[in-house]
Amino acid sequence: MTTLTTENKETQKQVIEKVYSPNVNVFENKENVTIIVEMPGVDQSSINLNVEKDTLTIDGQFQYDASTFGKSVSQEFVGGKFERKFTLGKLVDAENARAKIKNGILELTLPKVEPKKTKIEIQS
Amino acid sequence: MLFRILDNPGRTNPFWRDFDRFNEEITKSILDSQFGNLRSFPPVNIFSKEEEALVSALLPGMEIENIDISIKDNHLTIHGKKKTEDLAEGTEVHRREIFSGDFTRTIELPFRVNQEKVQAKYTNGVLNILLPRREEDKPKKITINFE
């Protein structure tokens, strides 16, 4: 018996999530490198800070459900995800990084490390 | 614009992302020098129901006392000053992409608003303003009587 209806009930919802590349400020002083990231609407719990090899990835979910309030008159932004990658130099100690978020601004402080000097003796 | 939109999330290669960013930066600076600043800050969404409207604005990193909201009839004006970070002497600036300074944005609403009852809330850098419609502006139902 052949079924005529080959209706696939699990139609894959192809919701392409908006990925925003947030604006950043990067400062450096004697002790630290500070990265400031604009992440409005992002809850602290959804922020991920990952360091893999020498790449630091910052991402966070911007939950914004627009459909709950009446009809849209004009829309300039939607919810989505913020993501940005940085290449870290060897002089930064990512393991001791500190992060805080306030009013949609993430501040990441990475302490600098003194480069180790290894002297190699030449054997005669 | 507050942030850039990567219209092509398939571009995973960081070179192309950087290229897009660079390209956009150049276009923006040319446009700015020609026509003044076209970017409207902050970006807003406007929603409306029959009796109230909601305006959300993306305003990260503000102090509440530096946000000024005013309403006249059906115009809402958001005005403010976004401070820069206080940097200690000897700090090197590698990148500065985040907007700072004065901004003003006026938004036209679909109806006139009761100024007394406007509510504003600022959470996680998002400003939400709830604007109730003015009583005399509300649509009135007229019942027609048949004789």
Walk along chain B (147 residues) and give the pLDDT tens digit of each residue.
Answer: 444 444 555 667 777 777 877 887 787 777 666 554 545 789 999 999 989 999 999 999 999 999 999 999 899 999 999 988 888 888 999 989 898 889 999 999 999 999 999 999 999 999 999 999 998 877 777 888 887
Mutate: best of B17, B97, B100, B105, partner A, most A CBs <10 A: B97
* DSSP E strands, chain A: 19-21, 24-28, 32-38, 48-52, 55-62, 71-75, 80-87, 98-102, 105-111
A92 falls within a domain: yes
B-chain CB neighbours of A106 within 8 Å are none
Asked whether A60 and A80 are in contact (CB, 8 A), the reply is: no
A117 falls within a domain: no
User: Does B54 sit within 8 Å of A77, measured CB to CB?
Assistant: no
A36 falls within a domain: yes
Asked whether B48 and A73 are in contact (CB, 8 A), the reply is: yes
- Expressed in angstroms, the distance from the first to the final Cα of chain B is 60
User: Does A17 sit within 8 Å of B87, measured CB to CB?
Assistant: no
User: Does A38 sit within 8 Å of B2, measured CB to CB?
Assistant: yes
Quote the CA–CA distance of B40 and B61 in Å, as a whole number: 17
A20 touches chain B (CB under 8 A): yes
Look at strands B75-82 and B67-72 and give their pairing: antiparallel
List the single residue in A24, A64, A69 with the smallest CB-CB distance to B54: A69
Tell me: the pLDDT tens digits for B67-79?
999 999 899 999 9
Interface ipTM: 0.76
A44 falls within a domain: yes
CATH architecture for residues B42-85+98-138: Sandwich (2.60)
- From residue B45, give the alpha-carbon distance in Å to each of B13, B71, B121: 31, 17, 15
A6 falls within a domain: no
A-chain CB neighbours of B9 within 8 Å are 16-17, 19
A101 falls within a domain: yes
Q: How far away is chain B from the Cα of A57, in angstroms, using its nearest Cα?
A: 12
User: Does A22 sit within 8 Å of B6, measured CB to CB?
Assistant: no
Can you give the pLDDT at residue A2?
Answer: 47
Quote the CA–CA distance of A98 and A86 in Å, as a whole number: 16
Domain boundaries, chain B: 1-39, 42-85+98-138
> How many residues make up chain A in this entry?
124
Q: What is the radius of gyration, based on Cα positions, of chain A? A: 23
Question: What is the total count of domains within chain A?
Answer: 1
Residue B54 C-beta-side C-alpha neighbours within 13 Å: 16
pLDDT tens digits, chain A, 124 residues: what are they?
444 544 444 445 556 678 899 999 999 998 899 999 999 999 999 999 998 888 999 999 998 877 778 888 988 888 899 999 998 877 788 888 999 999 999 999 999 888 777 888 888 8
A59 falls within a domain: yes
A10 falls within a domain: no
Q: Could you list the residue range(s) of the whole structural domain that residue A58 is in? A: 23-65+78-111
B62 touches chain A (CB under 8 A): yes
